[in-house]
Amino acid sequence: MTCKHRFIIVLSVVVAALLPVFCSYAGQDLERLDPWAFESPKRPGAVFPHDDHMMFLDDDCSICHHVYENGELVPGDSSEDLYCIDCHSLKPVPDNPMPLEAAYHNLCRDCHFDRGTGPVLCGECHVKE
Ligand code: HEC
Ligand code: HEC
Ligand code: HEC
Ligand code: HEC
């Protein structure tokens, strides 16, 4: 084995070991949402294949991770470094009139409804674990 070959093998091992770190940073291992932000959740966390949604939606992060300025949507700008609750509080406030539960339901359910695909019934998203 030449030195060059050995270098390539070591490099591949390092890259393979780091891959899960990059992937989890991209949110890709998310399969079900954890309702931690709600004070006393009544339902099991919603099933949400995050990775598949990136594919369904042509990698447009800003559809869900949006940014608003003075109440106006900033097209193309995205906020995946923030949680929904960072902007949508549990109770409506003047700064953001849409509370967290409505924000999730309006985003998820409305898109499925409008496109005629994806779950729209309670038990289809809040699937028992
Ligand atoms: C398209 C998927 C979807 C559908 C359909 C849906 N939900 Fe949700 N719901 C969510 C998501 C996402 C959240 C926020 C994160 C979480 O709790 O998993 C949420 C949060 C909630 C919460 C607040 C958290 C908690 O557990 O207390 C309640 C209550 C709730 N949903 C009830 C319902 C009821 C009742 C229905 C049917 C009328 C319903 N949901 C339909 C996706 C959905
Ligand atoms: C269909 C909606 C949707 C799309 C499209 C989407 N995300 Fe997300 N993403 C979510 C939701 C919902 C969460 C959970 C947010 C929360 O907990 O407040 C999330 C969480 C994340 C997280 C945190 C992961 C974790 O495990 O905590 C990252 C990072 C992320 N998304 C990146 C991205 C990137 C990058 C893109 C575009 C390539 C993208 N998302 C596209 C809805 C989406
Ligand atoms: C950087 C702050 C911020 C983040 C992060 C954020 N939002 Fe919003 N969102 C807003 C603001 C501001 C509005 C406008 C509210 C209004 O004026 O009615 C809005 C509006 C909405 C609306 C109504 C308009 C529309 O696009 O349908 C939904 C639904 C929504 N947000 C869901 C979510 C969900 C779910 C998440 C997490 C994936 C999220 N938002 C993350 C600030 C944010
Ligand atoms: C902008 C559109 C859009 C948004 C927002 C969206 N989805 Fe979806 N979702 C889709 C589409 C499109 C499909 C179906 C794709 C297919 O099967 O062809 C889907 C499918 C699903 C499925 C079934 C997955 C499967 O493999 O059969 C679940 C569960 C789901 N969505 C949950 C959610 C939850 C929870 C949210 C909010 C956090 C959400 N979705 C937000 C477009 C969206």
Answer yes or no: is pLDDT of 128 > 80: yes
Q: Which tokens is 82 given?
A: 């923030």
Q: Which residues contact 49 (CB under 8 A, 6 or more apart)?
A: 30, 31
Higher-pLDDT residue of 30 and 21 is 30
Instruction: Please say if the pLDDT value at position 2 is more than 60.
Output: no
Residue 44 has pLDDT above 60, yes or no: yes
What single letter denotes the amino acid at residue 77?
D
* Together in a domain, 66 and 53: yes
Please provide residue 53's backbone torsions phi and psi, each rounded to the nearest 5 degrees: -65, -35
Determine whether the shortest distance from the Cβ of 118 to ligand 4 is under 6 A. yes
Task: Tell me: do 76 and 118 sit in the same domain.
Answer: yes
Give Cβ neighbours of residue 20 (< 8 Å, ≥ 6 apart).
29
CB of 41 within 6 A of ligand 1: the answer is yes
Q: Which domain holds residue 81?
A: 31-125
Ligand located closest to 33 CA: 1
Query: Could you tell me if 20 and 8 lie in one domain?
Result: yes
**pLDDT at position 23 over 50:** no
Give the pLDDT confidence score for residue 16 in this predicted structure.
Answer: 58
47: which strand partners? 32
Q: Are residues 97 and 62 in the same domain?
A: yes
Whether residues 24 and 52 share a domain: the answer is no
Q: Is the same domain home to 103 and 45?
A: yes
120 and 85 both lie in a single domain: yes
Same domain? For 22 and 51 the reply is no
73 and 16 part of one domain: no
The whole-model pTM stands at 0.90
pLDDT higher than threshold 90 for residue 96: no
Same domain, 12 and 42: no
pLDDT at 24: 43
Domain identity same for 43 and 79 = yes
41 and 9 both lie in a single domain: no
Ligand 1 centroid vs 104 CA: distance in angstroms? 7
Q: Which pLDDT value is given to residue 29? A: 85
Mean pLDDT of the chain: 86
109 lines ligand 1 (CB under 6 A): yes
As for how many domains the chain has, the answer is: 2
